[in-house]
């Protein structure tokens, strides 16, 4: 997909390297919404390297009336149980002024279609427990919370310390 028309006012398109400043703007917008802006340390150089040089993730941009309205960043994971790849949605964000226009639904559905096209066995993402509007949205699309799983994370100095143990 290069571009896909959602309706008369909106399109989805694959992001290009020229979109790096916009992608970083969307990341910051999402982080602000999630009250985590102080956690954003991503730079344009890092995003360029990992998204467009190393191709470690992919990005869709949504435009409404030719203005940037939202984005989704996703990458492949792998299910050993299914023996097939999956897609993990790291970020899906629509600017507040564009919500309610079906743009989030279109981004979500497009990623699902990509998963089906690539023979993926599942689509996964994380959602903050307090984010009721997003929880409602995901459940309305068929999403099921995995209450029996807890996500763990190691970052920063703890990650470096663990790596030194090898």
Position 3 pLDDT exceeds 90: no
Residue range of the domain that includes 63? 3-163
Token pair for residue 47? 């995003």
Give the separation between CA 125 and CA 88, rounded to whole angstroms.
Answer: 6
Question: pLDDT tens digit string along 27-46?
Answer: 999 999 999 999 999 999 99
Which residues are part of the catalytic machinery? 138
For the entire predicted model, the pTM comes to: 0.93
Give the separation between CA 166 and CA 161, rounded to whole angstroms.
Answer: 10
Residue 150 CA, distance from chain mean position = 20
CATH code (residue 56): 3.40.630.30
What is the longest distance spanned by two Cα atoms in the chain?
56
Token pair for residue 8? 């008369």
Strand order in the sheet with 84-94: 3-5, 10-14, 58-64, 67-79, 84-94, 123-125
Question: pLDDT tens digit string along 125-158?
Answer: 999 999 999 999 999 999 999 989 988 999 999 9
Question: pLDDT tens digit string along 78-104?
Answer: 999 999 999 999 999 999 999 999 999
Q: How many domains does the chain have?
A: 1
């Amino acid at each position: 997909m290069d571009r896909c028309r959602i309706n008369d006012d909106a399109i989805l398109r694959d992001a290009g390297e020229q979109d790096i400043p916009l992608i970083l703007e969307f990341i910051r917008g999402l982080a602000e919404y999630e009250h985590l802006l102080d956690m954003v340390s991503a730079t344009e150089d890092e995003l360029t390297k990992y998204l467009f040089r190393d191709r470690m993730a992919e990005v869709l941009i949504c435009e409404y009336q030719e203005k940037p309205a939202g984005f989704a960043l996703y990458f492949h994971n792998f299910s050993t149980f299914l023996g097939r790849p999956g897609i993990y949605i790291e970020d899906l964000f629509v600017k507040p002024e564009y919500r309610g226009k079906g743009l989030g639904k279109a981004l979500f559905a497009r990623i699902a279609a990509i998963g089906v096209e690539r023979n993926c066995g599942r689509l996964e993402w994380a959602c903050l427990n307090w984010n009721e509007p997003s929880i409602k949205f995901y459940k309305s699309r068929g999403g099921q919370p995995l209450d029996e799983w807890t996500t763990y994370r190691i970052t920063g100095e703890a990650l470096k310390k663990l790596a030194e143990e090898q």
